[in-house]
Structure 1
Amino acid sequence: MSIEAASARAVMHRFWKTAGGFWRGTPAWALLVLLVIGVGLQVFVQYRLNYWNRDFFNALEAREGRQIWHLAQVLFTLAAASIALAVTAVWGRMTFQRLWRDWLTSRLIESWLEEQRYQRAGFVNGQRQNPEYRITEDARIATDAPIDLVVGLLSSLLVAGTFVVVLWNVGGTLEVRIWEGVIRLPGYLVGASVVYAAGTTLSMMVVGRYMVDVIERKNQAEADFKYVVARVNTRTTLAPYAEDAPTLAAAQESVIGQWKRLCGQHMRTTFVSHGNTLLAPIIGLVLCAPNYIMGRVTLGEVTQTAAAFVAVQGAFNWLVDNYPRLAEWMSSAYRVGILLTTLDALDTKRKREVAPTS
């Protein structure tokens, strides 16, 4: 392991050492259980909607008016349940984030103010620390993103496990004629889904491999810009415009330059994620078409398996959809960890300075 990697791991460990304290003596676990139950119920509703989709298109194909009306009533019930679960999930998730941010920010401010460290934490080890930005903005992202990411990952795992079964059972076997023989591919939609998801995930990892570094530099430039503006605004003596203008212009130029780099990263990741959003439904239908043409599946089963294919792709491509958010969280958590490490170093230094006189 390189020195930089070991240092990064130590900083992230320091972040979790403090941030993880929220899980002790708080309602964190109760909220987490509520979110897990809500995710499970929401996946069950999606599962029922998948079968509703099959039954509805089969009823349309058979022109069964009474069945269509009955299914319309069932849809209303499922939609109401899904909306109620979604609203509850928003409340649980945002309450969790609010409480965690409040807890972590309080600890950061307490540590920052203790022994007047705020007077010494501005510039350490040759780097501007910008504690104000890290306490406000980075602490928010560092506590917001993990909840969204974990809940999304849990939902993706449950969706993948549920709808892979649908693909295997409903999708059937694909028969491919080669020369005089026939090759049978049972559960071919599952294999196709895995291969397709692996391709999109690998593509996202390749095109977005520099995003964490780009976001880190963008956040640092933003923090530096705010620092420079605040310093000019709080001068105790009036300085000529010519002295401040170049400093402000340089900080502004740095921010704009980093945003330009970030724009390029988002353009590349959007190319993969948006392309996947457009192609996944079409690929699902195309893969189902051979068995429908051969009369092995009904129209309802085609739409059901195509919808299941899209659901599985969404689950498998969790990293594709969340890579920018994950990169942003890693950057902010690292910056909070750096602040905590700096405060620890200042405390250690102060103890060493007063030790001989005690």
Structure 2
Amino acid sequence: MTDHVERAPTVRHLFRNFWRIAKPYWVSEDKYYAWGLLLVIICLSLGVVFMNVQFNKWNNEFYNSLQDYNLPAFKAALWKFGYLAAAYIVIAVHAIWFQQMLEIRWRKWATAYFTQRWLRDNTFYRMQLTDKNTDNPDQRIAEDVDQFISYSLSLSLGLLRAVVTLVSFVGILWTLSGPLSFMLGNTQLTIPGYMVWVALVYAAVGTGITLWLGYPLVGLNFMQQRYEADFRFGLIRVRENAESVALYRGAQDEELRLRQRFVQVVSNYWSLMRMNKRLTWFTSFWGQLAIIFPLIVAAPRFFAKEIPLGGLMQINSAFGKVYDSLEFIISSFSTLAKWKAVIDRLTTFEYSMAAADQLPRLQPSAQAAGLSLEQLRVSKPDGEVLLDDLALTMQPGDSLLIRGKSGAGKSTLLRAIAGIWPYAQGSIGLASNTRALFLSQKPYMPLGTLRAALFYPQDVGHDEEQIRQLLALAGLTHLLPRLDETDAWSHVLSLGEQQRIALLRAILLKPDYLFLDESTSALDADGEARLYQAVREAMRAGVMISVGHRTGLVEYHQQALDCLGQGCWSLQPL
């Protein structure tokens, strides 16, 4: 989390950013299915417009039959309405069905795409080092992707229907409304198809006022997404660190922090409410006026008996359709504001991942066996040098203990060897096609069964006797009955138990390279000795590097690297 303010991208780049996010799916391996579905949806949308044209014609027949007291024509109009309505329902239902089908396929692909990009090459880790503005990647993948797809399809298809409806009904309205003649001074003026011009002016005025009133909604929706995600992140942090918060008796402090974050949610939401209220006042008034407005404008020709009742109602219907298509922006403005906010959040997420990809990567070079470091410089993000010109060579079976004061660069050196620390220069040589395992002070316990946690990240093994012996060695026999239970093990097990599970993981997997970053800090001396001895036996054919302060670790390592600070170091045999 950060106190920096994330800036929304400008409206000028909205469609470029939209295509940047949407394009990968439409050129992906699923493109033929996607374009096929989109074609079906477009055809069904055009079918809806065609049915609306038929209903407009039906208005003329139905209301003329009423005006003429023509019972047979009235009954025929009712039958016609029946089969028109049935056809409309079938088309409308399937239009929604196929649109939802496209939405879920697109979301499935896009979620996998963003998740892979976020996880690929440890981008999720590097973003934390370089980008202090892109908050809550989890929300951007889980929620923003879904909303982006839903809003994009609904708005684009809505715009398509609006354009086709406008083209279809402008001709009808032009023909039905006829010319309007009036005197201006001594000159008689005639406006052909005057209802079309009335609809254009009416919609243009409404759209302009709506844009003016509703523009602040764009920024407010962007910030609402951010504040909601920040608040949820705070709740998750309390849940994940429940024991620490309880032991520190920090519930009151956490409540204050959560309240402060929720105040931002509420304050911004009040601003949204005020803007929406102001916008709704106008759009409701303008929409209600649009119901009666065409009747008022066309009434003079009706009372002059130039058009029948059916013609008046057909004009009213056609005007409504033309106006609806022209006022698309008015009716969709809130959705447009949310759509832009979602695009902005996904765009900044994309830029952040791209920036993380551009950071330098210290790629290990292949060598026959063992590990070698040459002219390695490890720095902090601010440029402060932790280790300079480090040279080290280790062969299979060798072991190294890294010591030093806190902040001297011990853990950072392991990150550099792992290839996830971008602020490192030099040469690292590793044997190719080998496996490395890094165990941190706070072990990672994946979601799933305890058996899966023992073998993470490799496939689960089923040597029950070996597992039973190792659990006994670690003093964890009480967990035997729960091996295949799924639980939140990072909360169920103590830190010491989690560290013992992680050490057993190293014994079971026997990696070629094992890196332990104070991985026994929560163990007693006897437990540490038993497990380190077992780990050392398992690593006789591999390279083992440990970070630690305890003197008891010396006997399990052959060399010691002392980090002295300010780039200095010393290497000595043990």
Alignment CA distance shift 1:152-1:6 (3 Å): closer
Output the CA distance in 1 between the equivalents of 2:79 and 2:46: 23
Distance (whole Å) between structure 1 residues aligned to residue 14 and residue 77 of structure 2: 55
What is the rounded CA distance, in whole Å, between the counterparts of 2:73 and 2:144 in structure 1? 54
Counterpart of 1:357 in structure 2: which amino acid? S
C-alpha contact (below 8 Å) 1:11/1:338 kept by paired residues: no
What TM-score do you get using the length of structure 2 for normalisation? 0.59
2:25 aligns with 22
Q: Which shows bigger deviation, 75-84 or 268-277?
A: 268-277
Classify 1:160/1:14 alpha carbon distance in 2 versus 1 (closer, same or farther; 3 Å): closer
Contact 2:65–2:74 (8 Å) recurs in 1: yes
Mark the CA change 1:12 to 1:225 in structure 2 (over 3 Å): closer, same or farther: farther
Q: Structure 1 residues 351, 16: CA separation in 2 closer, same or farther (over 3 Å shift)?
A: farther
1:357 matches 2:367: no
SS at match of 2:306: coil
**Residue 301 in structure 1 maps to residue 311 in structure 2:** yes
- Give distance in 2, aligned partners of 1:327 and 1:164: 29
Contact persistence 1:193–1:313 (CA under 8 A): yes
How many Å apart are 1:306 and its aligned residue? 0.8
Give a deviation string over 1:18-66, Cα, whole Å, max 9, x none: 5311112321111111111111111111111101001111110000000
Match of 1:279 among 278, 285, 289: 289
Structure 2 Cα separation of the partners of residues 356 and 273 of structure 1: 64
SS of 1:121's equivalent in the other structure is: helix
Residue 175 of structure 1 and its aligned partner are, at CA, apart by: 2.5
Indicate the SS of the match to 1:175. Answer: strand
| Structure with the larger RCO, 1 or 2 (CA within 8 Å, 6+ apart) | 1
2:45 corresponds to 1:39: yes
Q: What residue is the counterpart of 1:312 in the other structure? A: 322
Instruction: Indicate the larger mover: 134-143 or 343-352.
Output: 343-352
Cα distance change on mapping 1:43 and 1:62 into 2, 3 Å: same
Q: Say which of 234, 244, 254 aligns to 1:237.
A: 244
Unaligned 5+ segments in structure 1 are none
Alignment of 1:139-150 (within 5 A): 139-150=145-156
CA distance in 2 between partners of 1:11 and 1:140 (Å): 18
- Give CA-to-partner distance per residue, 1:68-89, whole Å, 9 cap, x none: 0011000001101111111011
* 2:91 pairs with one of 85, 102, 121: 85
Tell whether 2:214 aligns with 1:208.
yes
Largest Rg, 1 or 2 = 2
Q: Encode CA deviations 1:179-225: one digit per residue, 9 max, x unaligned.
A: 66643222110111111010000011100111110100111100110
CA distance in 1, matches of 2:128, 2:11: 21
CA separation of 1:90/1:355 partners in 2, compared to 1, >3 Å: closer, same or farther? farther
Distance 2:340 2:63 in 1: 45
What is the deviation of 1:7?
7.3
Question: Residue type matched to 2:70 in 1?
Answer: E
Q: 1:234-273: CA deviations, max 9, x gaps?
A: 1151332222121101001000111111111211221232
Number of residue equivalences: 355
Q: CA RMSD in A?
A: 2.1
Distance change >3 Å, CA 123–CA 273, structure 1 → 2: farther
Task: Give, in whole Å, the separation in 2 of the partners of 1:10 and 1:356.
Answer: 40
Higher alpha-carbon deviation: 263-272 or 47-56: 263-272
TM-score w.r.t. the length of structure 1 is: 0.93
Contact kept? 2:222, 2:342, Cα under 8 Å: yes
Shift in Å at residue 324 of structure 1? 1.0
User: d(CA) in 2 for partners of 1:199 and 1:206?
Assistant: 11
* Equivalent position SS for 1:275: helix
2:180 partner amino acid: L
What amino acid sits opposite 2:352 in the alignment?
A: T
In structure 2, C-alpha distance between the alignment counterparts of 1:287 and 1:299, rounded to whole Å: 14
More strand by share: 2
Gaps spanning 5+ residues in structure 2: where?
1-6, 363-421, 429-574
Q: Aligned residue for 1:328? A: 338
CA distance in 1, matches of 2:273, 2:228: 15
CA distance in 2, matches of 1:37, 1:264: 40
CA distance in 1 between counterparts of 2:345 and 2:277 reads 25
Q: CA deviation at 1:123?
A: 7.1
Give yes or no for the alignment of 1:224 onto 2:230. Answer: yes
In the TM superposition, residue 10 of structure 1 has moved relative to its aligned partner by 7.0
Alignment match, 2:122: 116
Cα deviations by residue, 1:261-307 (Å, 9 ceiling, x for unpaired): 11112112212322222111201100110101111111110010011
Give me the whole-angstrom Cα distance separating, in 2, the residues matched to 1:197 and 1:321: 11
Given that 2:21 and 2:346 are in contact with CA atoms closer than 8 Å, whether structure 1 keeps it comes out as: no
Q: What's the secondary structure of 1:184's corresponding residue?
A: strand
Contact preservation (8 Å) 1:122, 1:131: no
**Partners of 2:172 and 2:224 in 1: CA distance:** 44
What are the Cα deviations for residues 316-355 of structure 1, in whole angstroms up to 9, with x where unaligned? 0011111111111111111112112112222222427366
CA distance in 2, matches of 1:139, 1:64: 56
| In 1: Cα distance, 2:66 partner to 2:57 partner | 14
Task: For residue 176 of structure 1, give the secondary structure of its aligned residue in structure 2.
Answer: strand
**3-state SS of paired residue (1:63):** coil
- Match of 2:67, SS? helix
Distance 1:128 1:244 in 2: 23
The answer as to 2:199 corresponding to 1:196 is: no
Q: Percent identity at matched positions?
A: 25
Name the structure where helix makes up a greater proportion of residues: 1
Preserved contact between residue 134 and residue 352 of structure 2 (Cα < 8 Å): no
Q: Tell me the amino acid that sits aligned with residue 181 of structure 2.
A: E
